[in-house]
């Protein structure tokens, strides 16, 4: 098998992982905003996510002089480590499934900030002790502190942007409530919105400008998950739940590959990154298939009911969903490859993926467009703190003893 041995190689893996893991959520969000049911998208995504693990196992897991190879380990009596890997896959799959609903309610940027920060604060601390403290604590934990500051700024960004949107929609309602054929909106302090009609937005002459009230209404009418009239606490609750799930998958994978609790029998080698990642991805796949097929027939959050037949015939955006699965699969694989070399605590630097997600959110979706100066200031502060955090966590990288 191929082994990443140098600190530089580990950092390269982390940087590619950071880009991939920050990009796939943007693709999933784009499909939801175009009206594709998240159950359909996630079923597509999970297939290529597993395929990425299989490709990694039969390439990196079989080349090079490192031992043991992927196929060599499959028949070995290593089930305690396999179960740890599969447990990590379960919590990751549930976390990813949760975030696709949270993105609609809270927004791509804030969702990623909160989940990533929870992951770093809990997961990185657990990994530091599981890795026998190979990372430099005097650098690592200030980096964790930077993530805590970032999540506070992220919450402030969300609150400020929500206030901006409420003001836009209030003004829109006052300006158009007496116009024949215009959309009428009732806006409460909780930003509960009730769309009575959708005829002739912006006079029907041109599309609403990005960030305007008309744009927000058009988006609501087009998207799969309707958020107007629903409390933002729903989205925040889902987001925090996803963050806790994400914080556990990396420590579970760490236990699977390094057996810190001595669960393997004498003479049985530790699982390689590639073997562990294969089992990890299989459990991701199984949980995702079971839950999403269930959600087709028993949807949550008032989504329309669907079926396996409807899913199979829905080719709208399927290629993008397949791409998202590949990006996530290779991103996770690269994160684990880097973590095995430099320490899983340092590899949690990829949780700065909101830097990438926020970029896509602003570029593709117009997030924070036409917002207040306060929102822009908080956004800049949040992104700056994430830049500092990822640099500090990478600087804490150690080197695992053979």
> Would you place residue 382 in the very low, low, confident or very high pLDDT band (cuts 50, 70, 90)?
confident
- What the block records as the tokens of 80 is 């305690």
Are 260 and 128 in contact by the 8 Å Cβ rule? The answer is no
What pLDDT was estimated at residue 271? 92
pLDDT tens figures, 157-177: 877 887 888 788 877 666 554
What pLDDT was estimated at residue 116? 82
Are 28 and 41 in contact by the 8 Å Cβ rule? The answer is yes
pLDDT tens figures, 294-330: 999 999 888 999 999 999 999 999 999 999 999 999 9
Residue length of the chain: 402
* Nearest partner of 25 among 126, 83, 127, 112, judged by Cα: 112
Q: Is pLDDT at 139 greater than 60 in this prediction?
A: yes
DSSP 64-122: SS-SS-HHHHTTSS-HHHHHHHHHHHHHHHHHHHHHHHHHHHH-HHHHHHHHHHHIIII
Are 222 and 229 in contact by the 8 Å Cβ rule? The answer is no
Kindly give, in sequence order, each residue whose CB lies less than 8 Å from that of residue 28, ignoring residues fewer than 6 positions away.
Answer: 38, 41, 42, 45, 100, 103, 321, 324
Kindly give, in sequence order, each residue whose CB lies less than 8 Å from that of residue 284, ignoring residues fewer than 6 positions away.
Answer: 46, 49, 50, 89, 90, 92, 93, 96
What pLDDT was estimated at residue 175? 55
Cα first-last separation, the chain: 15
Query: Which span out of 58-72, 141-155, 264-278 was modeled with the highest average pLDDT?
Result: 264-278
> Would you place residue 133 in the very low, low, confident or very high pLDDT band (cuts 50, 70, 90)?
low
Are 358 and 109 in contact by the 8 Å Cβ rule? The answer is yes
Measured from the Cβ of residue 150, the count of other Cβ atoms closer than 10 Å reads 26
Are 247 and 122 in contact by the 8 Å Cβ rule? The answer is yes
* Nearest partner of 250 among 123, 62, 358, judged by Cα: 123
Q: Give 195's strand partners.
A: 185
- What the block records as the tokens of 298 is 């028993």
Section 83-91 average pLDDT: 96
> Would you place residue 197 in the very low, low, confident or very high pLDDT band (cuts 50, 70, 90)?
very low
What pLDDT was estimated at residue 184? 45
What pLDDT was estimated at residue 188? 44
What pLDDT was estimated at residue 344? 59
- Run of H or E residues at 195: strand 193-195
Nearest-angstrom CA–CA distance, 346 and 338: 9
Nearest-angstrom CA–CA distance, 224 and 102: 13
Are 400 and 342 in contact by the 8 Å Cβ rule? The answer is yes
Mean pLDDT of all residues in the chain?
82
Higher pLDDT, 324 or 189: 324
- What the block records as the tokens of 383 is 């992104």
> Would you place residue 4 in the very low, low, confident or very high pLDDT band (cuts 50, 70, 90)?
confident
What pLDDT was estimated at residue 238? 92
The pTM (predicted TM-score) of the whole model is 0.81
Nearest-angstrom CA–CA distance, 104 and 220: 10
Are 224 and 55 in contact by the 8 Å Cβ rule? The answer is no
Q: Tell me what percent of the residues of the chain surpass a pLDDT of 70.
A: 83
What pLDDT was estimated at residue 171? 72
Nearest-angstrom CA–CA distance, 242 and 285: 17
DSSP 244-294: HHHHHHHHHHHHHHH-TT--SPTTPPPPPHHHHHHHHHHHHHHHHHHHHHH
Could you check whether the bond before residue 68 is cis, i.e. omega within 30 degrees of 0?
A: yes
The Cα-based distances of 378 to 121, 159, 161, 349, 367 in angstroms read: 21, 10, 10, 22, 14
Section 344-358 average pLDDT: 68
> Would you place residue 342 in the very low, low, confident or very high pLDDT band (cuts 50, 70, 90)?
low
Higher pLDDT, 307 or 189: 307
pLDDT tens figures, 24-76: 999 999 999 899 999 999 999 999 999 999 999 999 989 877 778 899 999 99
> Would you place residue 349 in the very low, low, confident or very high pLDDT band (cuts 50, 70, 90)?
low
Please, where are the H alpha helices in 265-372? 273-297, 308-312, 318-342, 344-347, 354-365
């Amino acid at each position: 098998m191929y082994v990443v041995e140098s600190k530089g190689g580990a950092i390269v893996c982390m940087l590619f992982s950071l880009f991939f893991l920050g990009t796939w959520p943007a693709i999933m969000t784009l499909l939801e905003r175009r009206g594709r049911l998240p159950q359909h998208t996630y079923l597509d995504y999970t297939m290529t996510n597993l395929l990425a693990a299989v490709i990694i196992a039969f390439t990196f897991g079989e080349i090079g002089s490192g031992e043991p190879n992927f196929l060599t380990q499959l028949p070995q009596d290593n089930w305690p480590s396999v179960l740890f890997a599969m447990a990590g896959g379960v919590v990751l799959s549930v976390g990813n499934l949760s975030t696709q609903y949270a993105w609609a309610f809270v927004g791509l940027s804030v969702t990623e900030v909160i989940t990533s920060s929870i992951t770093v604060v809990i997961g990185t601390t657990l990994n530091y002790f599981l890795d026998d403290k190979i990372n430099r604590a005097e650098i690592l934990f200030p980096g964790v502190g930077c993530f805590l500051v970032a999540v506070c700024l992220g919450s402030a960004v969300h609150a400020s942007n929500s206030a901006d949107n409420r003001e836009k929609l209030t003004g829109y309602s006052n300006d158009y409530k007496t116009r024949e054929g215009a959309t009428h909106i009732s806006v409460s302090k909780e930003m509960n919105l009730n769309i009575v009609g959708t005829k002739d937005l912006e006079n029907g002459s041109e599309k609403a400008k990005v960030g305007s009230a008309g744009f927000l209404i058009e988006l609501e009418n087009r998207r799969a998950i309707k958020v107007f009239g629903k409390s933002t606490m729903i989205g925040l609750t889902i987001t925090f739940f996803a963050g806790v799930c994400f914080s556990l998958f990396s420590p579970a994978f760490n236990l699977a590959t390094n057996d810190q609790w001595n669960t393997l029998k004498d003479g049985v080698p530790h699982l390689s990154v590639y073997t562990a990642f294969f089992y990890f991805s299989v459990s991701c796949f199984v949980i995702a298939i079971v839950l999403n097929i269930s959600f087709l027939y028993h949807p949550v959050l008032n989504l329309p009911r669907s079926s396996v037949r409807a899913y199979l015939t829905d080719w709208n955006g399927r290629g993008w969903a397949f791409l998202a699965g590949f990006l996530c699969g290779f991103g996770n694989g690269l994160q684990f490859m880097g973590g095995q070399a430099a320490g899983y605590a340092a590899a949690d630097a990829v949780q700065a993926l909101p830097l990438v997600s926020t970029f896509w959110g602003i570029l593709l979706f117009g997030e924070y467009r036409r917002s207040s100066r306060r929102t822009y200031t908080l956004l800049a502060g949040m992104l700056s703190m994430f830049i500092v955090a990822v640099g500090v966590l990478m600087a804490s990288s150690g080197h695992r003893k053979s």
